[in-house]
Amino acid sequence: MKRTSETGVSTLMTSTTGTQRRVLGLAALLLLTAACSGRTTTASREPGVPDAPPPGNPALSKVLLLGDSIAAGEALPLAAAFEAGGVEFESIAAEGGGNVVGPFSEKNWKKLPGQIASAEPTLVVHQLTTYDWGTPQEQRAAYERLLTTVNRAGAELVFVTAPPIRPDDFYEPHLAELDRAPDVARAVAAGSPGPSDSSGPSDSSGSPGPSGSSGPLRQSDRAAGMLDARAVWGSTYQQVKDGRAYRSPDGVHTCPQGAAAFTKWLLGELARLFPGFSPAPAKDWADTGWSADKHFQSC
């Protein structure tokens, strides 16, 4: 069941029809953002010099993404970015579901353990969904079950908070549950031997930043971490951020520029959690055609 509409006015995608709009490339925007923030970027290759093959990333041989339709949209640039970086990637994020607790979880759990095991990932990234409804006990039990399932498959788990939504009548009764879900997932991650989480800003003493993790993940029987994506989305729904369309007008989904910003952020966080993982630069994946996918047609 897909709850939200995906119709609207596009502010970013380039179409092949007579209604084409010229836009600044996603890679250029990401590089500009990095330059404005004082971060350095990789220099362009000389004309005529062939691309080198992507280096292997043994720290992350395969990443599996879980989540709902928001994550399904983010999976598009993530797939391009991981491919450019020499890391295998698979998404089983589901339109109108993908949750491990809440209205569709019973159906999801009938297939989820098999999907995780057959994917043979080294890392599972689970973005919390807009359907993660339930009591604190139900939420905790589900996230614990996911952690156990992932670790038994030989992988580590990273929870990622979902972008804030603009709730309609469908979501309004469940806002308290959705607001609580990150704290419950954080507690589950903190109870594992992986890094703990904090949503506070980082300081010179080395305290955790907005990502919420304090150090590299460790191989163990129960390894989990928590990443707080407010560094990308802010604390409330913003359709336009820094003059660019980050979110869909439907109040839930992302636009290509938001999905690209999320991808760049997540790659950076994973590089910090997994020493040895080297993300590909944005210029290698941001403008590879994924932004024209129908998932973003409302942007």
pTM for this structure?
Answer: 0.77
Among the listed residues 191, 190, 208, the one whose alpha carbon sits nearest the alpha carbon of residue 199: 208
pLDDT at 30: 57
Backbone angles phi, psi at 137, to 5 degrees: -65, -40
- Contact call for residues 57 and 41 (beta carbons, < 8 A): no
C-alpha to C-alpha distance for 105 and 82, rounded to whole angstroms: 28
pLDDT at 223: 83
pLDDT at 59: 73
pLDDT at 279: 96
Q: Write down the number of H helices and E strands in the chain.
A: 8, 7
The DSSP secondary structure of 170-208, one letter per residue, reads TTGGGHHHHHHHHHHHHHHHHTSSS-----SPP-TT---
Half-sphere exposure of 67 (CA within 13 A, CB side): 26
240-241 and 224-227 strand pairing: unpaired
DSSP state of 291: G
Show the DSSP H helices in 229-299 as ranges: 230-233, 256-273
Q: 10-residue block means of pLDDT along the chain (299 residues)?
A: 35 32 47 38 33 54 97 98 97 93 94 97 97 96 96 95 95 95 95 50 31 45 86 95 93 97 97 92 96 93
